[in-house]
Structure 1
């Protein structure tokens, strides 16, 4: 039987995600986050966007995860929280990445948000203003972890922010039922160090969506069950 953790297309526009989603492990949570709405409160107004690409980092056994082997540091500590908060980190000294922490306390799972799509023209304008650079195609705006963080003004000050509580700087709301979406899965991006885990098909995205960061030739249809 299919499990719907997010509500359908006709659900109230600003209803929060169900707590059950945050309790899932990252591999199961990642496709369920597709179609859901990420909300960022800024000084210029609220920005709402739809999640169109995710990537799973599945616990202490995943060699691609920052918490591989149970590594618990100042950086990774938030990954060991109970699901429902944000994990924000910096890569290459210049790009922030936004993750949704999932699963139970002390079980470090996280879902990287790789691409989002603005819900309205106003949202797109606010995101472009945050980006501050020329946008020639949709993926230039928010297709990729670093781009979407710049478009939503996400930085390390939002690390550990609660995503399951409305009223803060960042939260998640119900969008479309992921069961209704055309989802594909493929290997994750740029993690050769993960050895045998590098080829796990733990990246999920909406087929044909122009905001997706990378279209993979290895992508296969994915059906939620």
Structure 2
């Protein structure tokens, strides 16, 4: 594995490619996190993307530079974490296999079972203490740490979940066989 400190080139590509390549990467926020096991890609011309209708105060980070965080509040309840790719595109982090700071995650989530700590974007947000204050911050700087895998893990791919538009796009990726994904492939 190598540490990704400010590799804008990795993120300055199609979010679909980045979403697949993030599977198996280790990610932490202030030392709490684990291995990314599920992602979804969103593109500018994608009706399900927050960027589809253009720039707003909420999605401004999506139109900023690659390799930055895009954070949004889902249904007024859950902060969700995305990695910005090309302008107007991002990768939603849907699930992480917990590895570091598990007791901290349990306290934040009020859940004991490891599999349920980060299996879904809202759970990821709560377990990693994602908040609006992280929106627009560079992924190569504190509090973030992202380490890409040195070899490609086995991937599963399928349609995105939890959306009502452009549902047919096969832009959801996961670690094949992982029990930590939010939904089976």
Structure 2 counterpart of 1:80: 63
The Cα of 1:208 is off from its aligned counterpart by 1.4
Q: What SS does the aligned partner of 2:41 have?
A: strand
Matches of 1:65 and 1:15 in 2, distance apart? 26
Q: Say which of 120, 125, 131 aligns to 1:149.
A: 125
Q: TM-score, normalised by structure 2?
A: 0.92
Q: Is the 8 A contact 1:31 1:178 kept in 2?
A: no
Find the partner of 1:189 among 156, 161, 164.
161
The one of 104, 107, 111 aligned to 1:126: 104
What is the CA deviation profile of residues 148-195 of structure 1, one whole-angstrom value per residue up to 9, with x for unaligned ones?
111111111111111022xx22x242242352x110110001212x1x
1:199 aligns with 2:175: no
User: 3-state DSSP class of the match of 2:117?
Assistant: helix
User: What is the distance in 1 between the residues matched to 2:174 and 2:28?
Assistant: 19
- Structure 1 gap ranges (5+): 1-10, 217-225
Indicate the structure (1 or 2) with the bigger Cα radius of gyration. Answer: 1
* TM superposition outliers: structure 1 runs of 4+ over 6 Å: none
Deviations 1:4-44 (A, max 9, x none): xxxxxxx35x4536332111121111011111121211xxx
- Aligned counterparts, 1:33-112, within 5 A: 33-41=22-30, 46-59=31-44, 61-69=45-53, 71-103=54-86, 107-112=87-92
- Are 1:38 and 1:49, in contact at CA under 8 Å, matched by a contact in 2? yes
Taking the aligned partners of 1:30 and 1:164, their CA distance within structure 2 comes to 17
Q: Deviations over 1:184-213 (max 9, x none)?
A: 110001212x1xx21110000011112100
Question: What root-mean-square deviation, in Å, do the aligned CA atoms of Structure 1 and Structure 2 show?
Answer: 1.6
Counterpart contact for 2:33–2:128, Cα < 8 Å? no
Partner of residue 5, structure 1: none
Q: Is the alpha carbon distance of 1:66 and 1:15 closer, same or farther for their aligned partners in structure 2, counting shifts above 3 Å?
A: closer
Equivalent pairs, count: 185
Counterpart CA distance in 2 for 1:211 and 1:17 is 28
Q: Taking structure 1 as reference, are residues 35 and 150 closer, same or farther at Cα in structure 2, changes over 3 Å only?
A: same
Does residue 97 of structure 2 align to residue 113 of structure 1? no
1:174 to 139, 147, 155: 147
- Deviation of 1:135 after TM superposition, in Å, equals 2.8
